[in-house]
């Protein structure tokens, strides 16, 4: 019996491993297809083809096309998170000595997600406009919510701490985080629809740099209040 149980559990483990691999291969395929054709123009059949399976198999693991893309977003959120945490550590340890470095750190943490996965990042935005955040695998929805919110919270804490430390002027941190996020999303969106791939990145960078400088400028004059 003992032997049998062992056998069972070994087989189960293999199965689970295979399942994970299958899910991963679907995600990889989806990433490729989305990246090459964009979310809206990509079809589930194409993704299935790329993953060397058929469409219904995808639906075994993902509730919908939206669920699929949102599952891709998780690593992106994680990336921002880890970058923000580094900035926070620097802030708490005193390595960050002025408002400029703090604001720049936050900007870059968010922006980096776009640099590593532009297409996925773009889709995050699409989702905000459509009313499609429903109909997701609850797990994904939950983690997405939690982590997204987590990043924002972390960001707010850092700004609040920055204010305490008098690195930046007192502002409403809730609104402030929104403004930073809005700027990044807005600039990327704007430049995406203008540029032709090549100059694109440079333009975005320049515009975003200006945005960053303005925010720093506005937040770091120690004399006056913004509010």
Partner DNA sequence: AACTTACTTTACTGCCAGTAATATAATTAA
Partner DNA sequence: TTAATTATATTACTGGCAGTAAAGTAAGTT
Contact residues: DNA, CB under 7 A: 7-8, 11-12, 14-15, 18-19, 22, 42-45, 53-57, 59-60, 64-66, 135
Work out how close the CB of 13 gets to a copy of itself at its nearest, in angstroms, rounded to a whole number.
Answer: 41
For DNA, the closer of residues 122 and 204 by Cβ is: 122
Spatial distance between the Cα atoms of 101 and 82, rounded to a whole number of angstroms: 17
- Please, which of residues 115-134 interact with a copy of itself by CB under 8 A? 122, 125-131, 133
Residue from the set 10, 54, 178, 202 that interacts with a copy of itself by CB under 8 A: 178
Work out how close the CB of 202 gets to DNA at its nearest, in angstroms, rounded to a whole number.
Answer: 33
DSSP letters spanning 69-92: HHHHHHHHHHHHHHHHHHHHHHHH
Pull the structure tokens for residue 211. Answer: 């945005």
> Could you tell me if 218 and 226 are in contact, meaning their C-beta atoms sit under 8 angstroms apart?
yes
For DNA, the closer of residues 123 and 176 by Cβ is: 123
> Could you tell me if 168 and 102 are in contact, meaning their C-beta atoms sit under 8 angstroms apart?
yes
Of the CA atoms within 13 Å of residue 157, those in its CB half-sphere come to: 13
The residues, any chain, with a CB within 8 Å of residue 168's CB and separated by 6 or more, are: 99, 102, 103, 159, 162, 219, 220
Residue from the set 79, 101, 192, 200 that interacts with a copy of itself by CB under 8 A: 192
Work out how close the CB of 206 gets to a copy of itself at its nearest, in angstroms, rounded to a whole number.
Answer: 6
Work out how close the CB of 191 gets to a copy of itself at its nearest, in angstroms, rounded to a whole number.
Answer: 7
């Amino acid at each position: 019996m003992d032997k049998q149980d062992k056998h069972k559990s070994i087989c189960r483990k293999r199965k689970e491993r295979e399942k994970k691999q299958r899910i991963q291969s679907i995600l990889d395929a989806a990433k490729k297809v989305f990246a090459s054709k964009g979310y809206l123009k990509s079809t589930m059949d194409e993704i299935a083809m790329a993953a060397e399976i058929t469409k219904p198999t995808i639906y075994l693991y993902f509730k919908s096309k939206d669920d699929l893309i949102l599952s891709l977003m998780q690593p992106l959120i994680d990336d921002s998170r880890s970058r923000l945490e580094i900035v926070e550590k620097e802030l708490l340890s005193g390595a960050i000595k002025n408002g400029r470095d703090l604001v720049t750190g936050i900007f870059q943490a968010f922006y980096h997600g776009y640099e590593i996965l532009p297409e996925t990042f773009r889709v995050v935005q699409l989702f905000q406009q459509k009313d499609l955040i429903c109909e997701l695998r609850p797990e994904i929805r939950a983690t997405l919510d939690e982590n997204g919110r987590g990043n924002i919270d972390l960001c707010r804490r850092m700004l609040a701490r920055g204010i305490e430390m008098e690195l930046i002027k007192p502002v409403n941190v809730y609104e402030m985080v929104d403004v930073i996020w809005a700027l990044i999303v807005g600039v990327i969106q704007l430049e995406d629809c203008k540029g032709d791939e090549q100059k694109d990145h440079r333009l975005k960078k320049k515009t975003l740099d200006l945005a960053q400088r303005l925010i720093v400028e506005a937040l770091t004059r120690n004399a006056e209040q913004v509010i």
